[in-house]
C-alpha cells in the first residue's frame, strides 16, 4: 500500500523536470518550484505543516513538535541532469508516508517529526552543495551565494528569483540539543543489496569527497608542421596523468577517483592542444587516505609534466568529510527492521548525501533500499514498491524506538 503510493507520487513528481529523458530538476528552477507544490501536498496529507526556509528547504513539521525533541527525516529534491526518478526525492516521499502513520495521534508521540526536502544536494548547478543541511548545522559559508552557474547566474540571484533572501539562511542554525537525530532513506545506488537479496541496508559510514580542477598547459601549434619530438602537447600530458590516476585508484578498493569533465584548447582537429582543463574527484571512507592519494598524484603530475615541458596546476575546489553513522540510530534501525520481519545488512555509502552535512548538527543514520542493477544517476534508475513499502515500515518502527528514549 505505502509502496504503491510512493511509486505513484514519484512517477507524478518526475514530470517536474526540464528534460523528457530521465529527470532534470536543478535548484531554484521552475521544476524545483513545481516539485515543492507536490511535496507540500505529501506533507499536508501526512498532517504536517509545510514551510519553505531561507535555504530553500521545504520543512514539514508535525503539530506536536513545539517544545519537544525532534526527529528529522528527509533527503533532496534535486537531481543530476537526465537523472533517475528515485535518487533523493524517494527519501522525502517515504519520510512523509512514515510521518503519516502518526497523524491523528501526534500527542501520543514524545517527539516531534520534521520532514526536510532539501533544495540542492547534487551540486550540479553551482560548484557547491548541501546548503540546506549546512544552514541547519550552522556550517554554511555565505560565500557560496556569490558562486555562479554555467550561465553566469549567481546563486544569490537565483534564490532571489525564487523568493528567498539567502542572507536569512545564515540564521537557520538549529540547537543540537533539540534534535533527536536525522534519518535518511535512499536508494543504495550500488549493487550490494540486490546481489544479497536483502531489502534493507543500514549505512555504517558515508564516504568523504575531495574535488579538484587540474590545468595542464603546453604550447599550441600546427598539427602538420610541428615535429612530434619536442612538442609540448597539453592533451598528451593530461592523458598520461589521467591514466595514472586510474591505475592508482584501481589498486585501492576503498577509494574512487573520477575525471568527470575535460576541456581542450584550442580544440581544433589540426592544432596541437595548448591547454587542457579537467576535474578530479576522489572519494574514500577515510579522509587521510583520500588526501594522501591526492598529494601523491600532485607530486606525480608536477614531475611528469615538467619533464615534458608542460605546466600543471591542481586546485582543490570542494571537500566533504567522511561521516560515520550514529551507532545508537543504526541499532534502532536494525531492531526496527527485525520487528518488521525484514532482513538487513550493514554497508558503507560510496555516494554522499544530505546526511553527510547533517552530521555536523546531530546523530545521523541512513536506510538503503535496493535499486535495480545498482543503477543510479540515469533515467533507468528503479526501486520497487515492495522495497519502498518495507522502508516506510522500518522508518515508522524506528521513530517509535527512538521516541521510547524520550517518554516521560
Ligand atoms: O555525488 C554524490 O555522491 C551524490 O549523488 N551527490
Ligand atoms: Mn545523486
Ligand atoms: Mn542522492
Query: From ligand 3's centre to the CA of 24, what distance in Å?
Result: 13
Query: With pLDDT > 70 as the criterion, what percentage of the chain qualifies?
Result: 100
pLDDT exceeds 90 at position 253: no
Exposure string of 231-245, with b = 16+ CB inside 10 Å and e = fewer, is bbbbbbbbebbbeeb
Smallest Cα–Cα separation from 125: which of 259, 33, 27? Answer: 27
Query: With pLDDT > 90 as the criterion, what percentage of the chain qualifies?
Result: 97
Pick the atom of ligand 1 nearest to 283's CA: 3
405 grid coordinates: 528514549
pLDDT for 254 equals: 82
144 grid coordinates: 557560496
Is 381 touching ligand 1 by the criterion CB < 6 Å? no
The angle subtended at Cα 92 by Cα 87 and Cα 94, nearest 5°, is: 95
Ligand number nearest to the C-alpha of 376: 2
**Nearest residue by C-alpha to atom 6 in ligand 1:** 122
The answer to whether the CB of 216 falls within 8 A of the CB of 241 is yes
The answer to whether the CB of 348 falls within 8 A of the CB of 192 is no
Contacts (Cβ under 8 Å, ≥6 apart) of 155: 28, 126, 128, 144, 145, 146, 147, 148, 149, 166
Whether omega before 266 lies within 30 degrees of 0, making that bond cis, reads: yes
Query: From ligand 2's centre to the CA of 222, what distance in Å?
Result: 42
**Cα(194)–Cα(201) distance, integer angstroms:** 10
The answer to whether the CB of 106 falls within 8 A of the CB of 64 is yes
The pTM assigned to this predicted structure is: 0.87
Query: From ligand 3's centre to the CA of 276, what distance in Å?
Result: 30
The owner of cell 545488512 is: 345
Task: State the CB neighbour count (10 A cutoff) for residue 268.
Answer: 11
pLDDT band at 88 (very low <50, low <70, confident <90, very high): very high
Q: What is the mean pLDDT of the chain?
A: 97
Pick the atom of ligand 1 nearest to 376's CA: 5
pLDDT, tens only, 120-133: 999 999 999 999 99
The owner of cell 522500518 is: 394
**Nearest residue by C-alpha to atom 4 in ligand 1:** 352
Neighbours of ion ligand 3 (CB under 5 A): 87-88
Query: From ligand 2's centre to the CA of 103, what distance in Å?
Result: 30
The answer to whether the CB of 362 falls within 8 A of the CB of 181 is yes
pLDDT band at 408 (very low <50, low <70, confident <90, very high): confident
pLDDT exceeds 90 at position 92: yes
**Cα(12)–Cα(24) distance, integer angstroms:** 14
DSSP lists the bridge partners of residue 347 as: 203
197 grid coordinates: 537479496
pLDDT, tens only, 165-213: 999 999 999 999 999 999 999 999 999 999 999 999 999 999 999 999 9
Is 356 touching ligand 1 by the criterion CB < 6 Å? no
Q: Which of 79, 121, 206, 290 to mutate to test the pocket of ligand 1 (most atoms within 8 A of CB)?
A: 121
pLDDT, tens only, 214-235: 999 999 999 999 999 999 999 9
pLDDT for 120 equals: 98
Is 120 touching ligand 1 by the criterion CB < 6 Å? no
pLDDT, tens only, 320-363: 899 999 999 999 999 999 999 999 999 999 999 999 999 999 99
Q: How far is CA 264 from CA 34, 235, 275, 278, 280, in A?
A: 37, 7, 6, 9, 15
Amino acid at each position: 500500500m505505502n509502496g504503491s503510493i510512493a511509486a505513484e507520487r514519484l512517477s507524478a513528481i518526475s514530470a517536474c523536470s526540464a528534460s523528457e529523458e530521465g529527470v532534470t530538476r536543478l535548484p531554484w528552477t521552475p521544476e524545483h518550484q513545481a516539485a515543492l507544490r507536490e511535496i507540500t501536498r505529501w506533507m499536508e496529507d501526512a498532517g504536517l505543516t509545510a514551510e519553505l526556509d531561507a535555504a530553500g528547504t521545504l520543512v514539514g513539521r508535525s503539530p506536536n513538535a513545539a517544545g519537544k525533541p525532534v526527529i528529522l527525516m528527509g533527503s533532496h529534491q534535486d537531481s543530476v541532469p537526465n537523472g533517475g526518478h528515485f535518487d533523493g526525492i524517494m527519501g522525502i516521499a517515504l519520510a512523509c508516508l512514515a510521518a503519516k502513520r502518526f497523524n491523528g495521534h501526534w500527542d501520543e508521540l514524545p517527539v516531534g517529526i520534521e520532514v526536510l526536502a532539501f533544495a540542492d544536494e547534487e551540486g550540479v548547478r553551482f560548484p557547491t552543495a548541501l546548503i540546506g543541511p549546512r544552514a541547519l548545522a550552522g556550517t554554511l559559508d555565505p560565500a557560496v551565494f556569490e558562486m555562479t552557474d554555467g550561465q553566469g547566474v549567481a546563486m544569490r540571484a537565483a534564490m532571489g528569483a525564487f523568493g528567498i533572501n539567502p542572507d536569512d539562511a545564515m540564521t537557520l542554525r538549529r540547537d543540537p540539543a533539540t534534535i533527536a537525530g536525522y534519518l535518511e532513506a535512499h536508494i543504495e545506488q550500488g549493487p550490494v543489496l540486490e546481489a544479497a537479496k536483502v531489502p534493507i541496508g543500514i549505512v555504517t559510514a558515508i564516504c568523504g569527497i575531495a574535488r579538484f580542477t587540474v590545468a595542464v598547459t603546453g604550447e599550441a601549434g600546427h598539427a602538420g608542421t610541428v615535429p612530434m619530438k619536442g612538442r609540448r602537447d597539453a592533451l598528451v600530458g593530461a592523458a598520461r596523468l589521467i591514466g595514472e590516476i586510474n591505475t592508482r585508484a584501481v589498486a585501492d578498493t576503498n577509494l574512487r577517483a573520477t575525471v568527470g569533465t575535460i576541456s581542450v584548447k584550442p580544440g581544433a582537429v589540426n592544432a596541437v592542444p595548448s591547454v587542457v582543463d579537467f576535474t578530479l574527484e576522489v572519494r574514500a571512507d577515510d579522509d587521510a587516505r583520500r588526501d594522501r592519494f591526492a598529494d601523491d598524484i600532485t607530486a606525480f603530475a608536477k614531475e611528469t609534466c615538467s619533464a615534458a615541458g608542460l605546466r600543471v596546476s591542481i586546485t582543490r575546489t570542494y571537500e566533504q568529510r567522511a561521516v560515520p553513522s550514529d551507532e545508537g540510530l543504526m541499532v534502532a534501525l536494525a531492531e526496527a527492521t527485525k520487528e518488521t520481519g525484514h532482513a538487513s545488512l550493514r554497508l558503507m555509502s560510496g555516494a554522499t548525501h544530505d546526511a553527510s552535512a547533517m552530521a555536523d548538527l546531530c546523530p545521523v543514520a541512513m536506510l538503503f533500499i535496493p535499486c535495480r542493477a545498482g543503477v543510479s544517476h540515469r533515467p533507468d534508475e528503479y526501486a520497487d514498491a515492495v522495497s519502498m513499502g518495507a522502508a516506510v515500515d522500518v522508518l515508522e518502527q524506528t521513530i517509535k524506538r527512538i521516541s521510547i528514549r524520550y517518554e516521560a
